[in-house]
Amino acid sequence: MQIRSDPLDELAIPDGTTVEEHDLVTDGDVVVGGQSTVEFGVRGDDVMAGERVTFGGHIEAEGDCRLDMWSEVEEDVLVGGDAYLGERAQVGGELKVAGNVDIGDDVDIQESFEASGHIVIRNPMPTVVFLVVYLSQLLRIGEEEAAEDLASQLVEAEDDEAQPLVVPRGARVSDDAWRVSTPADIGDDCRLHGNIRAESLTVGEDNTVFGSLRARGDVVVGEDTEIKGDVTTRNGDVSVASGATVWGDISARDVELHERAVVEGKIRVSGELTQVRDALGPEKPADESDDAASATAESDTADTAPESEGSEVGDETPTGDSDAEPTETDPVEAADGEVTGATDDEATEVVDSEDSSDEATGESSEDPPAVESREAVEAELDGVVPMMGDDPEHGENGYDEDAELAEVE
């Protein structure tokens, strides 16, 4: 981080910040710029406020608390570490400090005062002045790296530490509205009350804002975030991510809306309205697709190979051992009534030829029924008398030769 940059140039709300019963609660530090008004109570790790900052509730700091001159707190100030109060600071309730206390001139504490460590009554140097003097001394002696590290430690947390909540100079924060003249950045998993007014707005994921968003520049609403109000920008664009819900209208120059986002209101645009769809994934290169197709073909071939081998084995006709003795010849009756003899070898050859012909044609191996000739049937029926009664009207064959045949249409 460059030390020339202003650490209070935007409203920064870290992950997990909530507003609970008129208290602004965060896991990290709270840094409030000068001449700001915070109508909430504040609960955090270290609490630092510039000149002429007004708090509408109490302050609970697990670490240190530093209030510059002319600062006002309407209720109690409870500090787990050390406390620093500038001259003419006012505390409307009790001041309880677990560590040391450094108090300036004309500090007004309405109720009791309690400290477990040392109490020094003097005029402490304002926080901003102290930082400027300290950094200038480091730069003067050539410790530029140390100055950079100090500036980074003041405004940036380590990876395992919570990010600080930063309220820029001249801001006003209340249940009704958060008004800043700088960009605003809201983290994830936050629950906030009030309309948010800023130069530009970026809202993270899984947030709930009970109010509207208004900015001069761009407004970005993250995934699964719920905005219970309107989203308006004067000269910027609005982007609503997947799963986000806006319970109000959207007014912007251009609007980018995800297909899974919900807007329970009207959308007014002076430019373009774009719908964003989920990507179907990167297309596979031609070489990879060819390899996949060949692998699929090889797997299909491997699956069908055992089946074909099994079918060939099953279709084979067992011939028995070559040393087996031949059986007697079975008589075979021909179609003309003659009886012929056939050896076992000839019968086996006939069966093999029939099986091979069946496999070639794909037909069943069963023989079709034999069709007898007319002469064979008449020979079998020779001498058979038809069973019929004595009827003079019928002939020898049992038919009425004089009967008229019915016409068939």
Highest mean pLDDT among 177-191, 277-291, 395-409: 177-191
Q: SS in 3 state form for 337-365?
A: CCEEECCHHHHHHHHHHHHHHHHHHCCCC
Q: What amino acid is encoded at 241 in this protein? A: A
* pLDDT of residue 96 exceeding 90: yes
Which tokens in the block code for residue 83?
Answer: 């406390």
Which tokens in the block code for residue 363?
Answer: 């037909």
pLDDT bucket at 311, cuts 50 / 70 / 90: very low
Other Cβ atoms less than 10 A from the Cβ of 286: the count is: 8
Q: Each residue of 61-88: pLDDT tens digit? A: 999 999 999 999 999 999 999 999 988 9
pLDDT greater at residue 76 or residue 328: 76
pLDDT bucket at 119, cuts 50 / 70 / 90: confident
Judge whether 227 and 248 are in contact, CB under 8 Å: yes
Q: What pLDDT shows up at residue 161? A: 63
pLDDT bucket at 121, cuts 50 / 70 / 90: confident
| Average pLDDT score over the chain | 76
Q: What pLDDT shows up at residue 67? A: 93
Other Cβ atoms less than 10 A from the Cβ of 44: the count is: 25
The set of residues, in sequence order, having a beta carbon less than 8 Å from that of 315 and lying 6+ positions away, is: 355, 359
Lowest mean pLDDT among 103-112, 223-232, 319-328, 386-395: 319-328
pLDDT greater at residue 403 or residue 134: 134
Cα(376)–Cα(51) distance, integer angstroms = 132
Kind of pairing between the strands at 41-44 and 59-61: parallel
Q: Each residue of 213-261: pLDDT tens digit? A: 999 999 999 999 999 999 999 999 999 999 999 999 999 999 999 999 9
pTM score of the predicted model: 0.60
pLDDT bucket at 149, cuts 50 / 70 / 90: confident
* pLDDT of residue 135 exceeding 90: no
DSSP 302-343: HHHHHHHHHHHHHHPPP---TTSPPPPPPEEE-TTS-EEE--
Q: What pLDDT shows up at residue 145? A: 84
Which tokens in the block code for residue 287?
Answer: 């070489």
Highest mean pLDDT among 129-133, 142-146, 267-271, 384-388: 267-271
Residue 108 buriedness (CB in 10 A; 0-12 / 13-18 / 19+): exposed
